[in-house]
Structure 1
Amino acid sequence: MALFPQLVTSSLALWRGTAIRAPDGEQPEQPLQLFDMEGCPHCRLVRETLTELDLDAVIYPCPKGGDRFRNRARELGGRERFPLLVDPEQGEVLYESRHIRRYLWERYGHGRVPGVSSRLPLDKGRVVLASGSRLGRGLYAKPARRPERLLELYSFESSPYSREVRELLCELQLPYVVRNCGKSSLNEFVLPAIRDRLGLRYQPRSRNRVELLNRTGRVAVPYLVDPNQGTAMYESESILAHLRDHYQI
């Protein structure tokens, strides 16, 4: 993976979608559903909020030219417009990133959308620049086989290594559960090699990071679980090769 362009994209987005900003927020019993285009700036705003509220969601990719989930989105909300959030537990179906973010913060973060996120024109500018830097990746459908069971991706929105995986998942219209792994302590912002050299003890606090540590003995993203192939793996290049080999036509 070419890391530098990914770092540029995350920097243009001001690295929003990195840290958990409401660690004590409520978790829905039934998973949220997000009908999404990875390359859409409006969808990016919602995905950032999911990371910042430490919320998992089932992602239904709806790239342009896609034929799997766009009809379902129209049935649920009455039109093909994205992002579309469905909260089955509350019976809510919401369009518009501004409305969705406000709803998520009020319902699961117990507060208002913080800081610059409440100033929509300014906030929208950074995500338009960030999405534009990807030159259409994560926007257009590619032929692919449909998996029987949902994939799982441990990720957080601003992760440069995770973005290219999410772009391909979207292009192949592969539905998945995003397990958000936002950072919740200062030592998580220190590179692991430096943390080890300084002797900093790393003990993750967020539920999905704890799950990764218990499951694999380390914490890194992206981490893909594919129950259809009975496999799980780290490293973006390996994940991309796996998706292309097993699903892309």
Structure 2
Amino acid sequence: MNLAPDDACDGLTDGRFRIGSRSEIASILRDLMAKHALVAASGGGDAQIVTTILSVEVDTGELVLDWGGTGRIADRLMAASRVLFETSLDQVRVRFASGPPAPTVFDGEAAFRVAIPEFVFRIQRRDSYRLKVPASLRATLVVEAFAQAGPASTSLVLHDISETGACVGASRTDPAAAAGARHERCRLLLPELPPISVGVEVIHVASRNDGAMRYGVRFLGIPERDAATIRRFIARVERDRRMRT
């Protein structure tokens, strides 16, 4: 990861990706620490090191990181008034800024500390990030005339979702569909949200050992307002998941 000056502010002003909840921020930072995620830290210019999070100290409002560098580069980073951090968590880009850094010692080793950031930005490609939908939510995709020989509609369990498509499951008693099939009159039923009318195209078909099927579907011409509703659903489920961990 390279935090060039022009790139360093990318995403740090986009409110769609900004998380400001102190508990959520602490949860994200703890996840990064638990997974030993490599974090790129930049104080500008060549003052760049790769580090890891050693401690998230909510009581004092500080984040402790591995020293991660020596000599002139580390000195320049310590002299910076603001440090930009970039890493990834579950294939989602994570960025935040804090400072100024201060040298410290953690478990007898050189480290540095900064204030826990006011905001964290989880920057994801909207067309690629997919949420695994907990079965307890009972989210479904109701497909009209899923197969010519089948009933008027079939309710399929939602296994994962992005704003451009989904993976749905069908039992062995449900009618089968072929890759390439299009279905214009479908309803996406997400908990606590109004139904979303959408067309789908079957992109991928897979059979499980128990006879159940998995279908990868692409949403057809989904309006921005409905895409925004899906984004809110994804954000809410992710937030609830982090709060439980």
Q: TM-score, normalised by structure 2?
A: 0.22
Indicate the structure with greater helix content: 1
Structure with greater Cα Rg: 2
TM-score (norm 1): 0.21
